[in-house]
Amino acid sequence: MAGKSLLEVKNLHVNIEDKEILHGVNLTIGEDETHVLMGPNGTGKSTLGYAITGNPRYSVSEGQIIFNGEDITNMPVNERAKKGIFLSFQNPLEVPGVTLSAFIRSALEQKTGKRVRLWDYKKKLAQTMELLSMDESYAERDLNVGFSGGEKKKAEILQMLMLEPSLAILDETDSGLDVDAVRTVSKGISIYKEQCKGSLLIITHSTRILESLHVDVTHVMEEGKIAREGDASLVDEINENGFEDIKA
Amino acid sequence: MKEKSHVDDIDRSVYDIRDEEHDAYRIEAGLTPEIVDKISKEKNDPEWMHEFRLKSLEIYNDMKIPDWGPSIEGLDMEHIATYVRPNTKMQGDWKDVPQDIKDTFERLGIPQAERKSLAGVGAQYDSELVYHNVKDEVAAQGVIYTDMESALKGEYADMVHEYFMKLVTPRDHKFAALHGAVWSGGSFVYVPKGVDVSIPLQSYFRLNAKGAGQFEHTLIIVDEGASLHFIEGCSAPKYNVANLHAGCVELFVKKDAKLRYSTIENWSKNMYNLNTKRALVEEGGTIEWVSGSFGSHVSYLYPMSILKGRGSKMEFTGVTFAGEGQNLDTGAKVIHAAPDTSSYMNTRSISKSGGISTFRSSVVVQKNASNAKSAVSCQSLMLDSESRSDTIPAMDIRTKDAAVGHEAKIGSISDDAVFYLMSRGMSEEDARALIVSGFADNVSKELPLEYAVEMNNLIRLEMKGSIG
């Protein structure tokens, strides 16, 4: 935990419509750190991911989100993305009319403000898809349209590796995947850590995805608040005892 | 017509640039037998055509304005010049087309598209064609592609006489009668038996003159076993007075022939687009319509297919985009008049900023059309709560064994999809434009690449500034 702080969430209260879901969340992630966010269903884990990413349906009524020293609490989604925040969606949406390849290229151009040379781009895309055992034909298919659950999740990891964000939030990227797909996704995450030295906030129920990763901090969320924090050993503890008695 | 790399640079001004009017001849506004006489004389019509025009005018005067669709009160025939001849003869080489007119078509990308991907091009400016050319290898196959005026007098005069306004007669409706009286320009295409024209032919219609009408006539005959893809493009600069487009398209698809007729229509928003299109399909023949309607103030447009021969087919793929101040009433009609015929309509309509988009479908299965199949699918996307979208299906089925399906869906842009795209750095405007383009991809997927790009540019243009 020696790194400079990248993300600071301070006393964050978040509403969806009129209902408060998060009741004062505090969380700090340093550079090049891997954090895990666990907790029972419906406690607000995904809400925190959306709030950090800037989904307009989730309104912040109190508190702050600081990213790289800048207050981004009221910044539009796309501006946050350009600053290096990435969310891997639990249910990636199908968008006809743009191919996966064209979409990532345009996202890269948005982020860098520069034209991306097609030749170099295609080469890197093909290499990255190979690492993720994705058939290259997916590059020219419409974004997520008709992809299986596993291919959708791989496509999210592909986007992460191509866009190289400084903070990647993975919202149950492993859920619903078979063993092989989880292994591929884990491999993608490891490559991200090696190549981009970015930070991770991994929202998950299972530990399979964490096996090959070094976890710096584990947060446990309960009823819209961080109930407990610890190191990697907390993951094992939860594995054995479930979420009972997690309140320290 | 733009190349892919130009996608970012699109600008409505390309369509809006008006040329100064250097017409050689502009007929006075209004509609009288004298005016029709003058047009006929000016065009040096054969006598039968002269009579046909006068007869059509009588029918026009007898018929009522349609009262079942969008209002056309703003259209006053007393103020429409029905014939404007540009200051040039028709040329077979762009070099010989006057500079200002040539520049207009250059901006619209027509000569470039011709060099790259077309078998032949006709370019009409106001009432007359200013350019017509067909590639040598296509001409060598015996394909005739010429302007209607030449066809009326040349080798194919009898054929034109035999087919002209036999499918869409002046009695069809008031504006078909008007067309019969004052038509000018358009293209004649004849594809001989068994000839497969592998790359498309295109006609482009540009109405530059203010307060004028364009009444081009397109007559296409695809003979037995032949196939053709014909593309029609239209645009006009914007004026603050009404312009009128009342073209007529007659398509004859012979036994086992196939015709695809694609249109990207981008009239300016002072245009009344009252266009009539019809296809007659013989045994085993196929008509495919691909239609993008973007421009105009008011449109009435319902291409009709008559499936006359056993086993003939029609497919209609369309998108209509109605923005502010637009009332676009579009759709398709099909008549199953023989056994084993099939029809499929797949349309999308988009409405925005108070625009009204109405989709009408009409499916008729006649008594003798046993084993007919028909499916109609219409999806509407409303981009805000002030816009309007209606679907009006009509069916008249006279057989017991027809398989007929209809589905309609109305929706709005999903906030989740916008959020997803924006979470990768895309602006809200771009995200929404992308979703709308994706919604209309039933049409863009059917168009040649350059046209699909052009269509997506039009959608982006319409979506500009749509975020409040």
DSSP labels for B152-221?
A: HHSTTHHHHHHHTTTSS-TTS-HHHHHHHHH----EEEEE-TT-B--S-EEEEEE--STTBEE--EEEEE
| Minimal CA separation from B426 to chain A, in Å | 6
pLDDT at B460: 83
pLDDT at B465: 61
| Residues near A243 by beta carbon (within 8 Å), at least 6 away in sequence | A38, A39, A40, A220, A222
Output the CA angle B22-B249-B168, nearest 5 degrees: 120
Asked if residue A77 has pLDDT above 80, the reply is yes
Cβ–Cβ of B419/A77 closer than 8 Å? Answer: yes
Nearest to A199 by CA among A105, A68, A77, A74: A68
Could you tell me the end-to-end alpha-carbon distance of chain B, in angstroms, rounded to an integer? 31
Alpha-carbon distances, residue B231 vs A154, B71, B110, B114 (angstroms): 41, 29, 12, 12
The SS3 assignment for A234 reads: helix
Residue B419 lies in a domain: no
B119 is written with which tokens?
A: 């078998």
pLDDT at A210: 84
pLDDT at A248: 47
Chain A to chain B Cβ contacts (< 8 Å): 73
- Give A77's contacts in chain B (Cβ within 8 Å): 419, 422-423
CA–CA gap between residue A220 and residue A227 (Å, rounded): 6
Residues of A engaging B, defined by a Cβ cutoff of 8 Å: 53-57, 76-78, 81-82, 86-87, 89, 92-93, 95-98, 103-104, 106-107, 110-111, 142, 159, 163
Residue B12 lies in a domain: no
| Minimal CA separation from A43 to chain B, in Å | 21
Could you tell me the end-to-end alpha-carbon distance of chain A, in angstroms, rounded to an integer? 21
| B261 strand-pairing partners | B230, B289
Give the containing element (helix H, strand E) for B251.
strand B248-253
- Give B414's contacts in chain A (Cβ within 8 Å): 93
pLDDT at B102: 87
Label residue B224 exposed, middle or buried (CB < 10 Å: 0-12, 13-18, 19+). middle
pLDDT at B464: 75
pTM for the whole thing?
0.86
The SS3 assignment for B345 reads: strand
The SS3 assignment for A214 reads: coil
- Give A56's contacts in chain B (Cβ within 8 Å): 415, 419
Sign of the CA dihedral with B445 first, then B448, B453, and B454 last: negative
pLDDT at A97: 81
| Minimal CA separation from A91 to chain B, in Å | 10
Q: What is the mean pLDDT of chain A?
A: 92
Closest partner CB to A110 (pick from B426, B437, B441): B426
Q: What is the DSSP track for B356-379? A: EEEEEEEEEE-TT-TT-EEEEEEE
Supply the DSSP symbol for B7.
G
pLDDT at B467: 53
Torsion from C-alpha of B5, B10, B13, B14, nearest 10 degrees: 40
Number of Cα atoms under 13 Å in the Cβ half of residue A32 = 8
Secondary structure E strands in chain A: 5-16, 19-30, 34-38, 58-67, 70-71, 85-88, 95-99, 142-143, 167-171, 199-203, 217-222, 225-230
* A188-210: pLDDT as tens digits: 999 999 999 999 999 987 777 88
Residue B20 lies in a domain: no
pLDDT at B255: 98
Output the CA angle B387-B390-B395, nearest 5 degrees: 170
Asked if residue A109 has pLDDT above 60, the reply is yes
Q: What is the mean pLDDT of residues A144-151?
A: 94
Cβ–Cβ of B422/A76 closer than 8 Å? Answer: yes
Picking from B424, B441, B442 by the largest number of A CB atoms within 10 A of its own CB, the best residue to mutate is: B424
Residue B7 lies in a domain: no
* A227-240: pLDDT as tens digits: 999 998 888 888 78
pLDDT at B24: 80
Q: Please tell me which residue of chain B has the smallest CA distance to A56.
A: B419
Supply the DSSP symbol for B115.
H
Is the Cβ–Cβ distance between B341 and B313 less than 8 Å?
yes
A99 is written with which tokens?
A: 């191919």
| Minimal CA separation from A124 to chain B, in Å | 18
Residue B112 lies in a domain: yes
pLDDT at A233: 87
- Give A102's contacts in chain B (Cβ within 8 Å): none
Closest partner CB to A93 (pick from B417, B425, B426): B417
The ranges of chain B with pLDDT < 50 are 1-10, 468
The SS3 assignment for B430 reads: helix
B290 is written with which tokens?
A: 């691909």
Cβ–Cβ of B424/A56 closer than 8 Å? Answer: no
Q: Please tell me which residue of chain B has the smallest CA distance to A82.
A: B425
Label residue A222 exposed, middle or buried (CB < 10 Å: 0-12, 13-18, 19+). middle
Is the Cβ–Cβ distance between A164 and A198 less than 8 Å?
yes
Closest partner CB to A95 (pick from B415, B421, B456): B421
CA–CA gap between residue B390 and residue B356 (Å, rounded): 8
Place of tokens 């694609």: B262
| Minimal CA separation from B418 to chain A, in Å | 10
Residue B19 lies in a domain: no
Residue B446 lies in a domain: no
Number of Cα atoms under 13 Å in the Cβ half of residue B399 = 23
Q: What is the mean pLDDT of residues A156-169?
A: 97
CA–CA gap between residue B393 and residue B406 (Å, rounded): 8
Is the Cβ–Cβ distance between A165 and B423 less than 8 Å?
no
Closest partner CB to B434 (pick from A81, A92, A98): A98
- Give B415's contacts in chain A (Cβ within 8 Å): 56-57
CA–CA gap between residue B47 and residue B127 (Å, rounded): 20
Q: Please tell me which residue of chain B has the smallest CA distance to A94.
A: B417
Is the Cβ–Cβ distance between B202 and B232 less than 8 Å?
yes
Picking from B4, B5, B348, B423 by the largest number of A CB atoms within 10 A of its own CB, the best residue to mutate is: B423
Closest partner CB to B422 (pick from A78, A96, A106): A78
Q: Which residue has the higher pLDDT, B467 or A148?
A: A148
Cβ–Cβ of B422/A81 closer than 8 Å? Answer: yes
Total domain count for chain B? 1
If one counts every other C-beta atom within 10 angstroms of the C-beta of residue B68, the result is: 8
pLDDT at B296: 92
Closest partner CB to A107 (pick from B417, B419, B424): B424
B81 phi and psi angles, rounded to 5 deg: -85, 120
Asked if residue A78 has pLDDT above 60, the reply is yes
Place of tokens 């990697």: A232
Sign of the CA dihedral with A13 first, then A241, A185, and A213 last: positive
| Domain span holding position B254 | 25-414
Closest partner CB to B425 (pick from A56, A78, A96): A78
| Minimal CA separation from B360 to chain A, in Å | 25
pLDDT at B445: 87
Cβ–Cβ of B420/A92 closer than 8 Å? Answer: yes
CA–CA gap between residue A46 and residue A14 (Å, rounded): 12
Residues of B engaging A, defined by a Cβ cutoff of 8 Å: 414-417, 419-428, 431, 434-435, 437-441, 444, 456
Sign of the CA dihedral with B205 first, then B210, B212, and B213 last: positive
Residue B465 lies in a domain: no
Number of Cα atoms under 13 Å in the Cβ half of residue A75 = 21
Cβ–Cβ of A95/B420 closer than 8 Å? Answer: yes
| Residues near A8 by beta carbon (within 8 Å), at least 6 away in sequence | A27, A28, A29, A64, A65, A66, A67
Place of tokens 């491999």: A187
Cβ–Cβ of A97/B438 closer than 8 Å? Answer: yes
Longest alpha-carbon distance in chain A: 55
| B26 strand-pairing partners | B84
How distant is the alpha carbon of residue B344 from its chain centre? 19
Cβ–Cβ of B423/A53 closer than 8 Å? Answer: yes
Closest partner CB to A55 (pick from B414, B419, B439): B419
